[in-house]
Amino acid sequence: MAAPLRDPDAWLPPHVRAVVERPTPIVTFAGRAGAAATADPSFVRSDIGQIIGVEPAAEVLYGPPVGLADVREAVAELYRRSLGGSDELQGANVCMTTGACEGLSLLLRCFAHGRKVALPRGHWENYDNAVDLAGGEVVVVDIFDEAGTLDLEALERQLVDAGAEVVLLNFPCNPTGAVLSTAEAEGLGAMLRRLDVLAIADEVYANLRYDGVPPRSLIVEAPEHVVSVGSGSKQFLLPGARVGWVVCAQPRVTDVILRKVLRGSTASPNVLGQRRLLDVLGPDLEAMAGDREPPTLTRVIHAMTERRDALLEVLGRHGMVSKAARPPEGTIFLMATVPPWFEGDDAAFAERALTAGLFSCVPGSAFGLPGQVRLSYGALSPETIAVLDDKITALKSA
Q: How does residue 325 score in pLDDT terms, banded at 50, 70 and 90?
A: low
What percentage of the chain has pLDDT greater than the value 90? 94
Quote the pLDDT of residue 323: 63
Q: Are 108 and 227 in contact (CB under 8 A)?
A: no
Q: What is the mean pLDDT of residues 268-294?
A: 97
CATH number of 4-289: 3.40.640.10
Task: Give CATH 3.90.1150.10 domain extents, the chain.
Answer: 295-397
pLDDT of 361 > 90? The answer is yes
Q: How does residue 324 score in pLDDT terms, banded at 50, 70 and 90?
A: low
Between CA 19 and CA 28, with CA 25 as vertex, the angle to 5 degrees is 105
Strand 166-170: give its sheet, edge to edge: 94-97, 244-248, 226-231, 198-202, 166-170, 116-120, 137-141
Task: Give CATH 3.40.640.10 domain extents, the chain.
Answer: 4-289
Task: Give the residue among 159, 147, 168 at the shortest CA–CA distance from 326.
Answer: 147
For residue range 141-199, list pLDDT tens digits in order: 999 887 788 989 999 999 999 999 999 999 999 999 999 999 999 999 999 999 999 99
Q: Are 219 and 82 in contact (CB under 8 A)?
A: no
Domain 295-397 belongs to what topology? Aspartate Aminotransferase, domain 1 (3.90.1150)
Beta bridge partners of 166: 117, 198
For residue range 52-105, list pLDDT tens digits in order: 999 999 999 999 999 999 999 999 999 999 999 999 999 999 999 999 999 999
For residue range 208-261, list pLDDT tens digits in order: 999 999 999 999 999 999 999 999 999 999 999 999 999 999 999 999 999 999
Q: What's the CA gap between 227 and 254, in Å, rounded?
A: 10
